[in-house]
Amino acid sequence: MEMNCESCGMPMKKPEDHGAGNETLKYCKYCAPDGNLRSREVIREGWISALMNMEDITRKEAEKKVDEVMPQMPAWKEK
């Protein structure tokens, strides 16, 4: 079953897309490589870098996008 990472939104189509290759995990291989969710700061930095590369945008533009979307993700929603 395909699902999206609850931390960054990445589609997880195959078992190896999930953290630790575990299909029951809600987080992708980048957010939880060993099965444990990385810190918000580490995920934010990785997400910024990925956006800069994928969309060829500046760091400031990537930070703005990440800071708008990240708080909406289930893993980072304010309680």
Domain that holds residue 37: 3-72
Convert the pLDDT of each residue in 12-67 to its tens digit: 999 999 999 999 999 999 999 999 999 999 999 999 999 999 999 999 999 999 99
pTM: 0.90
From residue 40, alpha-carbon distances to 1, 2, 15 in Å are: 26, 24, 23
Q: Is residue 77 part of a domain?
A: no
Q: Is residue 44 part of a domain?
A: yes
Q: Is residue 68 part of a domain?
A: yes
Q: Is residue 79 part of a domain?
A: no
- Whether the predicted pLDDT of 79 surpasses 70: no
The count of domains in the chain is 1
Q: Is residue 10 part of a domain?
A: yes
Q: Is residue 33 part of a domain?
A: yes
Reported as a pLDDT band with limits 50, 70 and 90, residue 3 is: very high
Q: Kindly report each contact of residues 65-70 with a partner whose C-beta sits within 8 Å and lies 24 or more positions away, as own/partner.
A: 69/9, 70/40, 70/43, 70/44
Q: Is residue 7 part of a domain?
A: yes
